[in-house]
Structure 1
Amino acid sequence: MTTHRLEGQHIGGRGRLVDYSNLVKLPHTVFAMPFALVGATLASYRYAVSGWDVLLILAAFTCARFAAMGFNRIADRAIDAKNPRTAMREIPAGKLSVREATAAVIIASALFFVCAALLNPLCLYLAPFALAIILAYSYTKRFTRYAHLVLGFSLAIAPVGAYLAVAGEWSRPPSALLVLAAGVLCWVAGFDILYSLQDMEFDRGEKLHSIPAALGARGALAFSRGLHLLSAAAFVALGFILPELDVGYFIGTGVIALMLAYEQSLVRSDDFSKIDAAFFNINGAISVLFFAIVLTERLLA
């Protein structure tokens, strides 16, 4: 059983643009950005959405994600340097200095607030709370095994924030955003547990907290599968809450449930060799597919 593997989704090449892109794992944007667009699309049933709104939502999301990932790399630089899987990340490897990464995080955070202000007063009011949550995640594995759930909550902010950016108010019915956020939270936490299996022994040695470190591979897999079952149920439930979503939505979410089951089948307690495919390929496809389903329903309405 392999416990340490080099990170995937690394952009090749040289130069500052490549270094900053790898610092924040730019390819991983595919996980949450489509869900931000889902939030905006669902809001469009009742509120007008302009191209400017969409650009600001995408810019705000990109800046917030850059700030969160950059801050995570700064906070974890000493830990990353000890872990064979992460030792070649940009700060431990000396490709970017802490000062350079910090400056980038500050700039991204400032731009996030600018975008929030340009969207509406509610977004500006909530922006500090959203940023605080996604930055605080970086420290959670130092004291709780449930850091995966905090990460899920951080990404669940994306569709909620995008909906509020368009609507300027909570969804009607109120349960719609809650159920959507719950689905995203459980989905992200479930696949993050799978990814964390690679660091199970390292986390134990460094006294870091995670579900795999606490429960072992078998327990972690059971926990992850339970979360993905809840995620699929939440996505289906959203179709019953919003009358705008039709049969096509339920067919699509059924496909997503099968994709989650396939993802889980790729990882076994004694074989982590397919974690990269389960983590990036399938989850990236799930996120894009979910947005495509919701957008198609909207265009056909």
Structure 2
Amino acid sequence: MTGDAVADAARGNWVDRWAPPFVRPYARLARWDRPIGWWLLLWPCWWSVALADLAAGHALPNLWHLALMLVGAVAMRGAGCTYNDIVDRKIDAAVARTRSRPIPSGQVSARRAAVFLFVQAIVGLIVLLQFNRFAIVTGLCSLLVVAAYPFAKRVTDWPQAVLGLAFSWGGLMGWAVTFGRLDAPAFFLYGAAIAWTIGYDTIYAHQDREDDAIVGVRSTARLFGQRTKPWLAGLYAAAVILMGASFVMVDAGPFAFVGLAAFAVQLGWQIVRLDIDDPDLCLRLFKSNRTAGWMPFAGLLLDIVIRGL
């Protein structure tokens, strides 16, 4: 591991071990050393693609759409993190977990980070242009929320809700790509993803609760405090109910609901296990949402395949 490694990245990750030295600061800006972020951005996209394919009666999931969503999620998550690090560089320098990030630690300048941001955004735009006009406009509208997110923690106790609006946008995109419009199932899925995002990012924010209080950063972790578990129960219940409603609207089969039930159990396990005063546990529970995302997606895929037989 290198001496310029980022404190909140896993030790011995592939960027620290294998990436050329000149690439590492940019890989860290894009969080390529922490893939959990693009997984969490990807899941609403893939859920929406699968939900739309099921509603459309397709015999197989659209693999081309899934592949494009994957590339777009990696590119736009990296662009979003880079933008966030540029805006938050002074705050990051004051927080123990983030002061080793590339900009506050001096590994890369804000100007070079801005150039890298532009390159990633171009990749995301290329992906977006593969879709229909309605989906392109829908995707571009997300940039307003993305641009607002880094400033939300300065003005509201609910920055996680703003993150939810941005990170869940894929819940609309898969439907828009398939049908060229938005219908109720997509909006219900979007709402489910927002509630899920607020929940898991509250768990994540508990790692920085004390430092955030010192520097004046607001969060649902600070707002909920010792009431975090009941708040999570409500948010996660809303996510399951709204997702279930979207499944009912498309007449999903039994496998989708089995996947949804497994998703609900995994979210419940997070609440039971949570100790907000244990930062390492908070990080593990946050990361477990990558596994949680597979559950409803796998159920939807099985229903698509079974219907196609």
Structure-1 residue corresponding to 2:238: 230
Distance 2:279 2:75 in 1: 33
SS in 2 for 1:141: helix
Q: Is the 8 A contact 1:32 1:287 kept in 2?
A: no
Deviations 1:261-293 (A, max 9, x none): 11112222444441111010x201011222222
How many angstroms does 1:33 deviate by?
A: 1.3
How many angstroms does 1:77 deviate by?
A: 1.1
- The answer to whether 1:120 aligns with 2:128 is no
Unaligned runs of 5+ in 1: none
1:279 to 266, 269, 286: 286
Structure-1 residue corresponding to 2:86: 74
Q: Is the 8 A contact 2:42 2:70 kept in 1?
A: yes
Moved more, 195-204 or 43-52: 43-52
Q: Is the 8 A contact 2:255 2:300 kept in 1?
A: no
> Aligned pair in 2 of structure 1 residues 73, 292: CA closer, same or farther (>3 Å)?
same
1:160 to 168, 172, 197: 172
Distance 1:295 1:149 in 2: 29
Q: Is the 8 A contact 1:152 1:185 kept in 2?
A: yes
Q: Is the 8 A contact 1:31 1:283 kept in 2?
A: yes
How many angstroms does 1:34 deviate by?
A: 3.2
Give the TM-score normalised by structure 2. Answer: 0.86
How many angstroms does 1:257 deviate by?
A: 0.8
Q: Is the 8 A contact 2:139 2:173 kept in 1?
A: no
SS in 1 for 2:169: helix
Deviations 1:76-111 (A, max 9, x none): 111111111111112222222212211111122233
How many angstroms does 1:166 deviate by?
A: 2.5
The letter for the 2-side match of 1:57 is M
Structure-2 residue corresponding to 1:190: 199
Structure-1 residue corresponding to 2:298: 292
Moved more, 254-263 or 12-21: 12-21
Distance 2:244 2:49 in 1: 19
Give the TM-score normalised by structure 1. Answer: 0.88
1:221 to 215, 229, 244: 229
1:180 to 186, 189, 214: 189
Structure-1 residue corresponding to 2:27: 21
Unaligned runs of 5+ in 2: 1-5
How many angstroms does 1:186 deviate by?
A: 0.7
Moved more, 123-132 or 271-280: 123-132
Structure-2 residue corresponding to 1:86: 98
Distance 1:290 1:108 in 2: 29
Deviations 1:157-206 (A, max 9, x none): 01211221222112xxx321111111111111101111111211211211
